[in-house]
Structure 1
Amino acid sequence: MRRTHALVDWLRACVAAFQFLTRLPIPVQIDYTERVFQRSSMFYPLVGFIIGLLLLLAGTGLSHVLPTMPASILLLTLWVILTGGLHLDGLMDTADGILSHRPREQMLEIMKDSRVGAMGVIVCVLHLLLKFSLLYTILDANQAGERGNMLLLLAIVPIWSRWFMVAAIRIWPYARPNSGLGSLFRGVNSKHVTVSLLVALLTTTLCIYNNYTISLPNWSIVISFMAITTLVGSGIAAYISSKLGGLTGDTYGALNELLESVLLLAVIIIFGM
């Protein structure tokens, strides 16, 4: 009975991760306690893996029936739909707060406002334009068959951006100790980060295992993604934390969005070499 109960708890945490981070229809009622939120963080890279696979399938299909431009727009649209714009909302709120250049308390108040400001809109538009251009480059190179199956590496991007969200929750303090959705993750510890890292490593390996269309060794791809994510993510998180005195739920979403674009850029640069 204990094992069955433990298995059910883990399944609830997994379902919670998908329900929270995506708009995939999973008709299961979950009691969102603090414990469930904390455990669900270990499945964030798995959520990224499924999102990546869906993008891989959609990108492959779209590039076979449409020119690169509309295929890229539709692929980006699907990416936003899969997450319900959750992380984009965090990016806009973070931009409104940080770029207001106000004192810390006022920045946090601005980020709590449900209305989007000018800086949030500007950053969101520029971010989506960058993401579109990167997807266009990847699909164009993939269609031309110039650099192997770059879409496989696109599938890995959401895995590592979501893993770093877990690492950021653990490493940097929470800026609003007693409020906000992000406060439910305060109990995330080193075990959660380690397990989520193992999930990220496993799912990345599954994406590239025995794939001969990628010229780089498998180990170098895994290490590259992990290193770039850790270095760039740490720099962004440290900067935001220095402004706000910690991180919030909005900044976790912003980190995810920014890292996705950085990793897409890295995919293009690595294959360009």
Structure 2
Amino acid sequence: MARGFLILLSFFTRIPVGNKIEFDEESYVKGLSLYSLMGAVIGLLLAVINLIFNNVYIFLLKGLMLTISYIFITGGIHLDGTADTSDGIFSGRKGGRIFEIMSDPHIGSFGVLSLILVVFSQIILFSYADVYTVFMMPVTGRLSVIVASWGKKYAKDTKGMGTLFIESINNNVLIINLLTALLFVLIFPYRLTFLIAVIATLMIAYFMSCKIEDEIGGMTGDTCGFILETSQIIFMMIILFLKG
């Protein structure tokens, strides 16, 4: 499982974990139980950035630096899926035509709009977020993907990058990731606020995955990216609303 965790870090982030970490399907599947913990590693790095820029008096600078840092740490891997999913799902087309649009290397108008909304939302929300929210954002985002993929099948007939991920989310993976996130919620202040925000975000993420399933028959790697980025924004908005 430890090897699987390092594979996750090497695959889903730009955090250097050594050149000797080669992809191993069995270890990768075992590592999915620690997917939310990988979010905690990202959250810890963001928390450090938050503390550095927390007292800067230029409005939105902290949010800008956190957004840049997050994109740098993750390599923007999920932003690509967000754009592709937006182009396909919001195109008004059905079935196979949606997959064709999502697979098109050219970004469409809905993809551009989704990226603008995600990036600007992160800048603004990060600017108002405290260090605990900053830490929990990537944890909740990755847990949302686990919940959204649970009980779903891979939508495409051909195998893709997300096939192994989606088809490996079983009850054990779900429970371990839920317990991991719960542990972090319990050790932070504002436990009830964070618990409500996490639960609400997970419910919305699962609802989105069901709507996506209605459209294309399941989940893909791109739709996982879309749900992750969207869920993180929803989580921070709920936190600010509850604290406001």
Partner Cα distance (2:239, 2:121) in 1: 14
1:91 & 1:262 partners in 2: Cα distance? Answer: 15
CA 1:21 to 1:204, structure 2 compared with 1: closer, same or farther past 3 Å? farther
Aligned partner (choices 47, 53, 56) of residue 62 of structure 1: 53
Preserved contact between residue 160 and residue 225 of structure 1 (Cα < 8 Å)? no
DSSP-derived class of the 2:60 partner: helix
Amino acid at match of 2:153: P
C-alpha distance in 1, partners of 2:153/2:111?
Answer: 24
Could you tell me how far 1:154 is from its partner in structure 2? 2.2
Amino acid at match of 1:114: P
Distance in 2, matches of 1:73 and 1:39, equals 35
The normalised TM-score by structure 2 is 0.92
Matches within 5 A, 1:54-133: 54-65=45-56, 67-133=58-124
Q: Deviations over 1:204-241 (max 9, x none)?
A: 334x1xxxxx4x3x2x1453133112211112111111
Indicate if the aligned counterparts of 1:45 and 1:199 stay in contact, CA closer than 8 A. yes
| Contact 1:59-1:151 within 8 A present in 2 as well | yes
User: Aligned residue for 1:49?
Assistant: 40
Following the alignment from structure 1 to structure 2, what is the Cα–Cα distance between the partners of residues 64 and 260?
24
Aligned residues: percent identity? 27
How many pairs are equivalent?
243
Q: CA deviation at 1:26?
A: 1.0
Deviation at 1:30, TM superposition (A): 3.3
Q: Which runs of 5+ in 1 are unaligned?
A: 1-9, 139-149, 209-213
2:5 to 14, 19, 26: 14
Letter of the 1:175 counterpart: A
CA contact (8 A) 2:154 2:163 kept: yes
What is the Cα deviation at residue 66 of structure 1?
A: 5.1
CA distance in 2, matches of 1:38, 1:221: 32
What is the RMSD computed on CA atoms of the aligned residues?
1.7
Q: Is the 8 A contact 1:201 1:222 kept in 2?
A: no
Match for 1:64: what amino acid?
A: N
The CA deviation string for residues 91-114 of structure 1, in whole angstroms up to 9 with x for no partner, is 001001111111210111211222
- Look up the equivalent residue of 2:220 and give its one-letter code: T
Shift in Å, 1:40: 2.0
Deviates more, 1:11-20 or 1:256-265: 11-20
1:131 shift after superposition? 1.8
Unaligned runs of 5+ in 2: none
The one of 210, 223, 247 aligned to 2:195: 223
Aligned partner letter, 1:196: N
> What is the CA–CA distance in structure 1 between the aligned matches of 2:24 and 2:217, rounded to whole Å?
26
Aligned with 1:76: secondary structure? helix
Give the TM-score taking structure 1 as reference length. Answer: 0.83
Pair 1:167–1:49, CA change in 2 (3 A): same
Q: Secondary structure of 1:181's match?
A: coil
- 2:126 match: 135
Alpha-carbon distance in structure 1 between the residues aligned to 2:63 and 2:168: 39
